[in-house]
Amino acid sequence: MERLSKHLLSWASLLDEPTLDQARVSSQMPFIHPHLALMPDAHLGKGATVGSVIPTLGAIMPAAVGVDIGCGMIAVRTQFTRADLAGRDLAPLREAIERAIPLSAGRDNRKVVATAEPRVAELEQLAEDAGFDPARYAGRWRLQLGSLGSGNHFVEVSVDETDAVWMFLHSGSRGVGNRIATHHIAVAQRLAKQWWIDLPHPDLAYLVEGTPEFTRYIRELRWAQRFALLNREEMMDRVARQLSEFLDDQVVEGERINCHHNFTEKERHFGKEVWVSRKGAIQADAGRPGLIPGSMGTASYVVEGLGNALSLNSSPHGAGREHSRSAARRLFTHEQLREAMAGIEFRDTDAFLDEIPAAYKPIDQVMADAADLVSVRHTLSQLVNVKGD
């Protein structure tokens, strides 16, 4: 860990100047308490740095939570072992998962399936209790539950160091969460102009606790966080069903972990109640299980928090980008992607070129930097990878 200023601490050994400058600006906002914590996977983001933990007193910057509210990971350890999949053609399993879960931006379900019905009902009740209608943001939000999205979202079947088979996936609150976030970022920016607040960047606009705008944001944000968690649960149940059918044996869950890495919670740190916005970071309280994925084609980790107070009990959420998507498409080739994915069943298309492992920080270095934040319980190696274009 390196103290870069009074209000900025960093665990990142790989940190470029634009990212550092962005973090410095965010850390100088007057309501930061006690400091902003940069995680090992930190990289340039919209307004606030991805891979940052931002504790605030009496205010929240909606862009510092991110537009994919509640984005995160879920993993399930099964009773199956590597031997159960050895020698099998895994393409039919990948294709079955691709049929069961709508992939890519803008794709959703044709109907609310039986497993999604109680989850949709829960979200309807939560929205009613919060006093808002999610359909104002996305009329088809019910059909988005159980859909993956695109970019770095994925579904994987992996094995750990004991040869146990895991199901692992990454997704968030889909289009409805994005629109909720975008709306409240715009509200914060409008209020800043209305009250002549001079901001170092428009995306650092904030909502003040106690105002109607803040209260509405928190209610809708919590709904979107719940949507994201249930979205992952729904998809995981579908993956389990496909794996069961593929192996002709029911999945028996040994462990299930579901955690956000784009979210806000009220917590107590350094003697004060603060809003902790983790934008690309997971909670890592002592003993708390968590998930840190690598990039496409590299290892992922099941971890346990160490409760590091200076990090505000946080840890990285993944490898963190080293090259932008456009830069990755200029720098790397489809053949290099194939080489990086050797031995892993995946949909072989150059649509995923911007997700090539070389576009990300080395996950081994990220985990080394996080040694005082989490301990590693399991290291997962991919067998099957599913992504949306």
* Residue where the block lists tokens 């995680």: 39
Q: Which residues are catalytic?
A: 317
Run of H or E including 201? none
Range of the domain at 12: 2-387
* 61 touches 206 (CB < 8 A): yes
State yes or no: pLDDT of 47 exceeds 80. Answer: no
> Per-residue pLDDT for 46 more than 90?
no
pLDDT in tens, 166-201: 999 999 999 999 999 999 999 999 999 999 999 999
pLDDT computed for residue 296 by the predictor: 87
Contact 72, 206 (CB under 8 A): no
pLDDT at residue 48, as a whole number = 87
Whether pTM exceeds 0.75:
yes
Q: What is the pLDDT of residue 104?
A: 85
| pLDDT number for residue 62 | 97
Check pLDDT > 90 for residue 297: no
CA of 26: how far to CAs of 9, 187, 245, 263, 267, in Å? 12, 19, 49, 17, 20
Q: What CATH number does residue 380 fall under?
A: 3.90.1860.10
Q: What is the pLDDT of residues 350-389, one digit of tens each?
A: 999 999 999 999 999 999 999 999 999 999 999 999 999 8
> In the chain, where does DSSP find H-type helix?
17-27, 62-65, 82-85, 91-100, 117-130, 141-144, 174-194, 212-247, 325-331, 334-340, 363-369
For residue 37, pLDDT beyond 80? yes
CA dist 156 and 51 (Å) reads 23
Q: What is the pLDDT of residues 298-345, one digit of tens each?
A: 999 999 999 999 999 999 999 989 999 999 999 999 999 999 999 999
pLDDT score recorded for residue 331: 94
Question: 305 by DSSP, 3-state: which?
Answer: strand
Which whole number is the average pLDDT over 112-134? 97
How many domains does one find in the chain?
1
pLDDT at 78: 98
Mean pLDDT across the stretch 263-283?
Answer: 97
The pLDDT of 7-16, averaged and rounded, is 96
Task: Please give the structure tokens belonging to residue 95.
Answer: 């294709």
* Residue 123: predicted pLDDT: 98
pLDDT per residue as tens digits for the range 75-110:
999 999 999 999 999 999 999 999 999 998 889 999
